Structures are given as C-alpha cells and as structure tokens.
Amino acid sequence: MSALRPLFIVAGIGRAAGTGAAAARRFSKEGYSVALIARGEDSLNALSDEIKKGGGEAAPYCIPSYSADDITSAFTSISAQFPNSHYALRAALFNVGYAVWKPFLEVTASEVQESLSTNVAAAFAFSRSAILKFKENKLDAENPKRGTLIFTGATASTRGNKMTSAFSIGKFGARALSQSLAKEFGKDGIHVAHAIIDGQIMTGAALERSRDQPLSGLSPESIAQAYMYLVNQEKSAWTWELDLRPAQEQW
C-alpha cells in the first residue's frame, strides 16, 4: 500500500444487514475508508454512523435511483470528499440487486424494465465510474494492482429457472459484463471478479425465519471474507469467478 489511504466504494446496502454492509464493515476494519451508495437513506446513514463510531472513516451517498446519471454524480461527490491527494480507490463492490420470483406470465413489463435497469444498466454505469477511477491510480512495484471490482452474483446468474425469468435476465447480464471487463482490463492491472452466491444470505429477516436451524444459509461476513481475499489476490493468480454456498447446501 502507498501512503494514500485505500478507499472502498460499495453500492447496495439494503437494510444494512446483508452483504454490502458486511463488506463495508470488513473493509473498514482492514483500514479502508468506505463510501456507501444506496437508495434507502436511513439504513445508509445508520451504517455510516456505525462505522464512524467504530473508529472507521465512512460517508453515505444517497441516490434517488441507480441511473447512470445518479451513479456518476455519486462518484463525483465521492471524488470531492476523498481526493486523490490523500485517497486511492482500491476496491469497489456492486452489490445492488433487484429480485423477482414469479411465474413468467405474471411478470409485468415494468418488472422486466426494473430488473434490467437495476441489475445490468446500473452495473454498467457503476463499472464505468469505478474503472475510470482505478485508472487514476499509478501502477508501480508497490502497487502492481490498480484496483478490484467485485459483483455479487446469485444462483440466477448461471441458471434460468421456473420462477426466475425476470431475475435471471438481469443476473446473467451482470455476469456477462463482469467477464467482459475481466478480460479487457486485466492487462491494465484492474481485477474484476464475480461471486456466485448460491444459497440464501442470512440477513436479518432470513435469520429470524431460521431460528431453529442455525447456519442454514450464508453469513454476510463469510461473503465479505471472500471479497477481501479477492482484493488481496496477487497479480499472478486472479480469480474471475468463484461460487459460495453453505457447507450443507443441496446443489
């Protein structure tokens, strides 16, 4: 690491109980400043405050939508608050997801639109901003890697299923994007990875439901551990894709 403080940007915080929040907490503990992008202001502010109270550096960026414009604006604000003179973006996580579970004929045109906008077009815009920012980092012996961009995938990223027509069109698309980017930007020292989360993530609600069956899903902290590993991979052996599932999962 250079003298610049490493910055981690994550988009998609939900109710601050899942993967995005766990990643923010983990990266903060490892010395990263964290910039949080999300739509829900309350959870966003709560998480930012929590990290700051824990001694970390964090800032919330509430955006009205995951449109290209709103994402670009958020990055502009982040760049102002975390200037290149003192910070270097080293890791970015696209953790936004719009899930629909419905028989095909019940899916509405606006759900299709929302899935494509949120799961794919927003991923495209987020990747663009992150990669442009990674490119501002110098590549030298100390920092052979400009930065790492991670996508949170799902079972629906590689398999279309009965109830997932509207969801999988979006998750497949984001996976395609991640592969294109990994191939295009590897030579520039930008690492792009895609994690297939193949199981239920144990967020607040899921934990509540599974009280009698401990450890029936993935803990967000374990996923965050995987993301930290990806960010720390040495340049001679980068992973584009890995799957993550609970030990006892049927698959």
- Residues 5-64 contacting a copy of itself, CB under 8 A: none
Element (H, E) at 8: strand 5-11
Instruction: Output DSSP code: residue 64.
Output: S
Determine the 3-state secondary structure of 151 from DSSP: strand
Minimum gap (Å) between residue 204 Cβ and a copy of itself: 16
- Identity at 142, one-letter amino acid code: E
Direct distance between the N- and C-terminal alpha carbons of the chain, in angstroms, rounded to an integer = 40
* Cβ–Cβ under 8 Å, residues 120 and 173: yes
User: For a copy of itself, what does the binding mask look like between residues 108 and 147, x meaning CB under 8 A?
Assistant: -x--xx--xx--xx--xx-xx--xx------------x--
Cβ closer to a copy of itself: 53 or 187? 187
Handedness of CA 213, 216, 221, 225 (dihedral sign): positive
Is residue 221 involved in binding a copy of itself (CB under 8 A)?
A: yes
CB 77 to a copy of itself: min, Å = 19
Is 101 an interacting residue with respect to a copy of itself (CB under 8 A)? no
Footprint (CB under 8 A) of a copy of itself, residues 65-94 = 68
Which region among 26-34, 42-50, 91-99, 105-113 touches a copy of itself (by CB under 8 A)?
A: 105-113
Binding mask 180-219 for a copy of itself (x = CB under 8 A): xxxxxxxx-x-x----------x------------x-xxx
Helix, strand or coil, per DSSP, at residue 218: strand
What is the Cα–Cα distance from 195 to 171, expressed in whole angstroms? 11
CB 76 to a copy of itself: min, Å: 16
CB atoms within 10 A of CB 250: 6
Out of 61, 168, 203, 231, the only residue in the binding site for a copy of itself (CB under 8 A) is 168
Token duo for residue 201: 């993530």
- Comparing CB distances to a copy of itself, the nearer of 11 and 58 is 11
Q: Residues with Cβ < 8 Å from 203, sequence gap 6 or more?
A: 14, 15, 17, 18, 220
Q: Answer yes or no whether residue 107 interacts with a copy of itself by CB under 8 A.
A: yes
Does residue 177 interact with a copy of itself by CB under 8 A? yes
Q: Which amino acid is at 102?
A: K
The tokens for 138 are 């110098």
Q: Give the nearer residue to a copy of itself in terms of CB position, either 24 or 44.
A: 24
Select 57 or 186, whichever has its Cβ closest to a copy of itself: 186
